[in-house]
Structure 1
Amino acid sequence: MANEIKLLLAEDEAALGQIIKESLETRNFDVILCDNGEKAFEKYKSETPEILVLDVMMPKKDGFTLAKDIRAIDDTIPIIFLTAKSQTADVVEGFSIGGNDYLKKPFSIEELIVRIHNLVSRTKEQKTAQVLEIGDYTFDFPKQQLQFKSADAIHLTHREAHLLFHLIKNKNQVLDRSLILNKLWGTDDFFSARSMDVFITKLRKKLKADENIQIINVRGFGYKLTD
């Protein structure tokens, strides 16, 4: 069908992988299933999927390593991690290396589908978005690049770019913490909130060349970008 979403699923638990594949295929997805990271990397290069769903713990090449390899050549494809891990450090690491979302096992297929559609639509939004100005910076959202005057462009991760996009669009207004967590992370739980704090810190560092730009933490509400 013309509006199918082509998805690469990497999951080494055979029964779980097949259940996810069959469930998604009944909901208008074209699913490529691989049982280890090495196979998934080869299929990624040959099949051009629109989104990746990667188990973290896999043989031959784990999900984090696979994501790093893919991010080295592709900055925009959405990545969702499936993980049995729940430690904050593991979740933050997943986002830091370029993941866009994560689901802790066990999870519902319905929740996975919602997150897939959300990420795919955001990626399409990014490709049609405009170049924005903030202080002495130029922010090219489609290219995920931030440039200060005539200096070299700074590359942003997928999540950094989307977070900055929403901060700029709501400049001088408080960006509701729960709203942006649900939109970009799919949940406003503790792990996601900690992850967003990390990304806010990274954006502050990348915007520090213009001393007038501030990302203010409005306690109990969210963040406000001013220039």
Structure 2
Amino acid sequence: MQCPQCHSTQTAKNGQRRGRQCYKCKQCGRQFLESYRPWRYSNEVKQLCIKMYLNGMGLRGIERVTKIHHTTVMHWIREAGHRLDDAPEAEEIPEVTDLDELQTFVGSKRNKLWIWTAVNHKQAGILAWVIGDRSRETFKRLWSIVKCWQCFFYVTDGWKVYPMFIDQGDQIVSKTYMTWVEGENTRLRHYLARLHRQSLCYSKSVDMLKCSLRLLLHYLKDRTVPLPA
């Protein structure tokens, strides 16, 4: 029997694992099996893990329940998220849009980021979003999408960036009328463990955060998740 690592033929039997013969290389110490079975998780298992993730469970929590390594689940989430648009296509163009920011962080609490969201004032569902700091440059990316809707009014809080882009007569500054957008931001925190307050779960990359948001927004609208490639 040849060692798959150093290709030495000086190997010896080393017990059995689930009925299959194990070997150990005398040269490099590598332990290996005579043959390996091809392994592939079913589509049902992949979708179940992603749905668990989109219902508030962290990656390591899913691992504890399903015995599937958290990096495998993370890989499925990335693959599925990269295949989606940022948000599902809007059924109608809003006449009034709510705008708000949700604070989070990536890597450490010192690396703060904001998720800027745009919501139809009369319907549930986030229509557009961007991730970045709380500066005008970040909102400018969201505004390039929102301004195309040509809404009558834009409901915001008192953050200084908004008047730089929204005409005074078109902006309504009122926390009272921001129920829709604040409710949608609360749903993001509720469904994604990485956005929970005072949680051990947190984002380690912006790319993973983006994939998570894409998957969640499509899941909340259709109650289905795409299969990883």
TM-score interval, normalised by the smaller of the two chains: under 0.3
If the length of structure 1 is used for normalisation, what is the TM-score? 0.23
- Say which structure, 1 or 2, has more relative contact order (CA 8 Å, 6+ apart): 2
If the length of structure 2 is used for normalisation, what is the TM-score? 0.23
Larger Rg, first or second structure (1 or 2): 2
